C-alpha cells in the first residue's frame, strides 16, 4: 500500500460540473440546485432514490439533460432494502481522484467515470431514532448510515478537488459563493471539509456509544428471529 502526498497542482476555483447528491433530508435542495445551475447551466447531478426524485422535481424539464441516476451511472443495481448503491468504485474514484494527476485521469477514463466537483450529503437521523424510548436494538442497527459517511469522508479527504456540502444550513452560503466566485474557492472547500469531518466523527461516535450501552439479552436478542437448527 502506498500513501503519498498530492504532488499535482491544485485548482483554486472548482466549477461544479459533476455533482453527487445523497441526502436523507431534502429541505433546501432547490436553493443549492439553483445556485449550481446559475454558475454552470450544464452541470450534471447524480443521485439515487428519493433524492433523485426530488432533484428531478426541481429540475423539471431540465431533468433529461442535467440528471442521471447513480444506478445508470454505475450500471449496478441496489441491493434489496436500498443497500450498496453508493458503495461503488466508480463513485468513490470520482470523489478521491486528484485533478491534474494523469494516472487518476486515465483510471477514470478507463471506467467511464468523472471527477466529482461537489458531493452533497446528510445522514440517516440515528440520534433521533435512538432517542425514542421504544427504540429497539434492531431499529438502531438498520438506521446506521454506511454509504453517506463513506462518501462524505472521501470527499472531505479530497477537498483539494471536491466541495463537500454536509448540511442544508450550508446551501445558501455555497450558492452565494457560486455566484460571487463562479465556483467554489479552495479555502471554502477546506472549511466545508472541516465541518464534514466533524459531522462524520460525531455520527460514528454516537453509534458506538449507543451500541456500547445495549444489553444483548434484553434489548437485542428479543427482537431477532433465530434460525431453527
> In the prediction, which pLDDT does 63 show?
96
What DSSP string describes the chain? -------S---SEE--SEEEEE-S--TTHHHHHHHHHHH-TT-EEEE-HHHHHHHHHHHGGGHHHHEEEHHHHH--PPBTTTBSTT--HHHHHHHHPPTT-HHHHHHHHHTT----SEEEE----HHHHHHSTT--HHHHHHT--SHHHHHHHHHHHTTTT-EEE--GGGHHHHHHHHHHHSSEEHHHHHHHHHHHHHHHHHHHHHHHHHHHT--IIIIIGGGS-PPP-
State the average pLDDT over residues 99-108: 96
Name the average pLDDT for the chain: 95
Structure-derived torsion over alpha carbons of residues 39, 42, 154, 206, reported in degrees to the nearest 10: 70
Residue 1: band (very low, low, confident or very high) from pLDDT cuts 50, 70, 90: low
pTM of the model: 0.95
How many Å apart are CA 186 and CA 177, to the nearest integer? 11
Nearest in space to 211 (alpha carbons), one of 113, 152, 142:
142
Res 94: pLDDT? 98
How far apart are the C-alpha atoms of 16 and 195, rounded to whole Å? Answer: 20
Residue 97 has pLDDT above 70, yes or no: yes
What confidence score (pLDDT) does residue 83 get? 84
| Domain architecture of the chain: domains with CATH | 13-127+147-206 (3.40.50.1380)
pLDDT tens column, 9-39: 999 999 999 999 999 999 999 999 999 999 9
**At residue 172, does pLDDT exceed 80?**
yes
- pLDDT tops 70 at residue 212: yes
Lowest mean pLDDT among 62-66, 82-86, 90-94, 179-183: 82-86
pLDDT at 46 over 90: yes
pLDDT at position 208: 98
Residue range 183-190: mean pLDDT, rounded: 98
Amino acid at each position: 500500500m502506498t500513501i503519498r502526498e498530492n504532488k499535482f497542482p491544485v485548482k483554486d476555483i472548482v466549477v461544479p460540473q459533476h455533482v453527487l447528491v445523497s441526502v436523507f433530508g431534502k429541505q433546501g435542495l432547490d436553493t443549492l440546485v439553483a445556485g449550481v445551475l446559475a454558475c454552470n447551466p450544464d452541470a450534471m447531478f447524480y443521485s439515487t432514490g428519493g433524492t433523485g426524485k426530488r432533484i428531478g422535481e426541481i429540475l423539471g424539464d431540465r431533468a433529461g439533460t442535467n440528471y442521471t441516476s447513480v444506478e445508470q451511472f454505475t450500471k449496478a443495481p441496489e441491493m434489496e432494502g436500498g443497500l450498496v448503491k453508493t458503495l461503488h468504485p466508480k463513485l468513490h474514484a470520482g470523489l478521491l481522484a486528484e485533478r491534474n494527476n494523469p494516472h487518476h485521469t486515465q483510471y477514470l477514463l478507463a471506467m467511464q467515470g468523472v471527477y466529482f466537483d461537489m458531493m452533497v450529503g446528510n445522514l440517516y437521523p440515528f440520534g433521533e431514532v435512538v432517542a425514542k424510548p421504544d427504540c429497539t436494538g434492531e431499529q438502531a442497527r438498520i438506521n446506521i448510515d454506511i454509504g453517506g459517511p463513506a462518501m462524505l469522508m472521501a470527499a472531505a479527504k479530497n477537498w483539494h478537488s471536491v466541495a463537500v456540502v454536509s448540511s442544508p444550513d450550508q446551501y445558501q452560503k455555497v450558492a452565494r459563493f457560486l455566484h460571487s466566485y463562479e465556483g467554489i474557492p479552495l479555502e471554502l472547500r477546506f472549511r466545508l471539509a472541516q465541518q464534514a469531518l466533524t459531522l462524520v466523527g460525531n455520527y460514528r461516535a454516537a453509534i458506538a456509544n449507543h451500541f456500547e450501552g445495549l444489553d444483548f439479552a434484553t434489548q437485542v436478542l428479543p427482537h431477532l428471529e433465530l434460525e431453527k437448527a
